[in-house]
Structure 1
Amino acid sequence: MYSANRRRNIEREERMLLRGKREQAAGKLLQKVPELASLNLEIRETRSNGLANDTQYIRRVVVEHAHALFEMPCSYSSCDNGGYDVTQQVLSALQSRTARFEGECACRGSCGGEFCSRVLRYVATATYRSSVDA
């Protein structure tokens, strides 16, 4: 039991280290979109067949400190290496100064040797500073 817990802790630390490297490589959000004032993401994660087990939450981005990386983990406990990367879609919409946009992304993980069937759907609302305020 001890070695299994230790292995999970090591794997978690490795994932955190890799995420930190991806955040550093992505840079700061305000460097990419300097006029961005606020950003909220309404997130809903479901099975692809639309059945139960929905997970819903709102991610309020602290723009002043956020990295330009929009990755979310899969919430299904049996999913290995799962998650969603919507970075390119979100940055593209923000750089176009879109106030409301939405999208979806399939989980890239696996469950028992098969692809994870979960899908993340998001609705984003953003506000921007005018060029006079910047």
Structure 2
Amino acid sequence: MRAFGLLAGLIVGAAGFATSASAAEPAFTQAQLDKGTSEYNTHCRTCHAAKGKGALGPALFGDVWKARFGGGSATDARTWIYENMPQTAPKSLKDEQLDPIMAYILSLNGYTAGDKEFTAESGKAITLAK
């Protein structure tokens, strides 16, 4: 019985060393989110609707988003968006547009603002919920 308690304690303790950010952890700055809202409204809203609810394009949160990007990193999603969006001009978004747009999309998925900006590099540590 004592060995079981020790093993359970080790497992719980090891879980604290996970490096992937969860939706409760800050993933971008408030300034990025503010800019991302504006960039989203300029480049994405026509197809994905207000607040990413989906229209011509799919919703940017919920089951559709999770089915497409869940389990991958935020950087994986960012890369896909860069290569494919906007549909009329793929690969046209620059980092200074795309990173704030990702901040906005992450906010739609429960992530919060903090003191570090979202970047392609920092997004590698964010595993999107399934």
Give TM-score, length-normalised by structure 1: 0.30
Which structure features the higher share of strand residues?
1
Give TM-score, length-normalised by structure 2: 0.31
